Amino acid sequence: MDGVRIVEDEVREVIRLRGLDPSRESAEVRRIVYAAVRDYDERSVRGTLPRLGALDEVTRQVFDAVAGFGPLQPLLDDPEVEEIWINSPTEIFCARGGVSELTSIRLTADQVETLVERMLKPSGRRLDLSSPFVDAALPDGSRLHVVIPDITRRHWSVNIRKFIARAQRLDQLVELGSLTPGAAQYLQAAVSSGMNVLVSGATQAGKTTMLNCLTSAIGTRERVVTIEEIFELKVNRRDVVALQCRQANLEGGGEVTMRRLVKEALRMRPDRVVVGEVREAEALDMLIAMNAGLPGMASLHANSAQDAVTKICTLPLLAGENITPHFVVPTVASSIDLVVHCERTAQGHRQVAEIIKLGHRVENGIIESSTVFSRTNGELTANPQADFHHEKLVRAGVDISALAEVMS
């Protein structure tokens, strides 16, 4: 056994005897690790114990092993790493700036399982043959997704998506080059006046960050309720309630779905409802809430803004056979005001690709829409023929002529 493993076992024994929780009492654990490493180093000088090497590096390794997530902790601590995934114990990848790379980390199958169990412990979620999939949030807000055999061919598949919030407000998106000042000002006015916004894009296109930034435009006195499958949104305000789904227990009961959360949110006196990601029949409940005068925002996966409109018209049909396009399409037209489509370029840069405005007219099952902003030669520009007028902007007292002049 090498010196690092000996120190790690000694530290674990001290933690056990003192009854410490490494996840909650990290400062005390760090002091124990520091003392244990120095004590071992002195003993190794006087005796036959294996030498440790660089003490600072050993201290970090031992602390990561007992209080963090072992060899993966340096990747979790690296602000440039956006996502980590394990295809097999010897194939561990990460993404930096939207570009994937194979890491030098090598684990055993037992180490992967132990790490996953440790990651799931704070959330109380389970993973077994009856529930081979799991979604959970890590203490730092990262999203964990795991699939086990026999759903996978042989090895456990692990994905950790870190939520790196480089922007919390729309003006910060402008600084990052994701938005132009004119588009940011338009979205600011749209959200503050109560327009309903749908954010679309592919995986890792920046939808969650965009939702977070849009919430910064909500009035300070408004009460916000967020609904997510796993907590990812970080709404920076005081009057906010965050809700997340819950898996069924071992007896098959206790499940809390997105549809249930949308209905419960309406009983919580919300001024705004933000749905982290619409995937299934909860789209119907969300549209009904918006159609009843409750402003809201949501995100969903789509390849373009128009595809997002088509998808939001299709998802409610999953709610039951009695739900038809003749009801859904007009409801979408009267509920959704704007679609903001995000994209990630080949270089990994996240940006707004287009913004479209939906009208209330429906002809042959197609909702009237107009492009407000689009990318031309890589630049997000306002459509010269765009009609920025909207009744909600008028009611909020927004000077639409001045707004259009700023955006042109």
Instruction: Output the 3-class SS for 310-358.
Output: HHHHHHHHHHCCCCCHHHHHHHHHHHCCEEEEEEECCCCCEEEEEEEEE
Partners of 376 in beta bridges: 379
* In the predicted structure, residue 109 carries a pLDDT above the cut 90: yes
Pairing of strands 91-96, 133-137: unpaired
| CA-derived radius of gyration, the chain | 25
Mean pLDDT check: name the lowest of 40-49, 76-85, 274-283: 40-49
- Classify strands 224-228 and 197-201 as parallel, antiparallel or unpaired: unpaired
The arithmetic mean of pLDDT across residues 199-227, rounded, is: 93
d(CA 344, CA 367): 27
Q: Are 343 and 353 in contact (CB under 8 A)?
A: yes
- Please say if the pLDDT value at position 1 is more than 60: no
Lowest mean pLDDT among 26-30, 129-133, 143-147, 333-337: 129-133
Name the token pair of 145: 């997704």
Nearest to 340 by CA among 395, 300, 291, 295: 300
Per-residue pLDDT tens for 6-26? 888 898 899 989 888 887 888
**Placement of tokens 């092993």 in the chain:** 65
Other beta carbons within 10 angstroms of residue 86's beta carbon come to 23
Mean pLDDT, rounded, for 180-204? 94
Q: How far apart are CA 353 and CA 384, in angstroms?
A: 17
pLDDT at 292 exceeding the cut of 90? no
**Is residue 224 a contact partner of residue 237, using CB atoms and an 8 Å limit?**
yes
- Tell me, what's the pLDDT at 262? 93
User: In whole angstroms, what is the distance from residue 192 CA to residue 185 CA?
Assistant: 11
CB-CB contact of 301 with 342 (8 Å)? no
Using DSSP's 3-state secondary structure scheme, residue 127 falls into coil
Is the distance from CB of 116 to CB of 156 less than 8 angstroms?
yes
Neighbours of 288 (CB within 10 A): 16
* Whole-number pLDDT of residue 131: 83
In whole numbers, what is the pLDDT of the chain averaged over residues? 90
Q: How confident is the model at residue 408 (pLDDT cuts 50, 70, 90)?
A: low
Q: Answer yes or no: are the C-beta atoms of 190 and 393 closer than 8 Å.
A: yes
Cross-sheet strand order for the sheet of 296-301 = 240-244, 224-228, 272-275, 296-301, 197-201, 338-344, 350-363, 366-376, 379-382
Mean pLDDT confidence for 151-160: 94
First to last CA, the chain: 69
Per the model's pLDDT, the better-predicted residue between 329 and 238 turns out to be: 329
Tens of pLDDT, residues 345-354: 888 889 999 9
For residue 169, what pLDDT band results from cuts at 50, 70 and 90?
Answer: very high
**Nearest residue to 36 (alpha-carbon basis) of 65, 6, 16:** 6
Q: What is the mean pLDDT of residues 320-343?
A: 94
179 has a pLDDT exceeding 90: yes
Quote the tokens at residue 159.
Answer: 């994905």
Entry pTM: 0.84
Mean pLDDT within 25-40: 90
Q: What is the DSSP string of 31-83?
A: HHHHHHHHHHHHHHHHSSSPP---HHHHHHHHHHHHHS-GGGHHHHH-TTEEE
Distance of CA 247 to the CA centre of its chain: 18
Q: How far is CA 12 from the centre of its chain?
A: 33
pLDDT of residue 46: 82
Please tell me the total number of residues recorded for the chain in this structure: 408
The pLDDT assigned to 158 comes to: 96
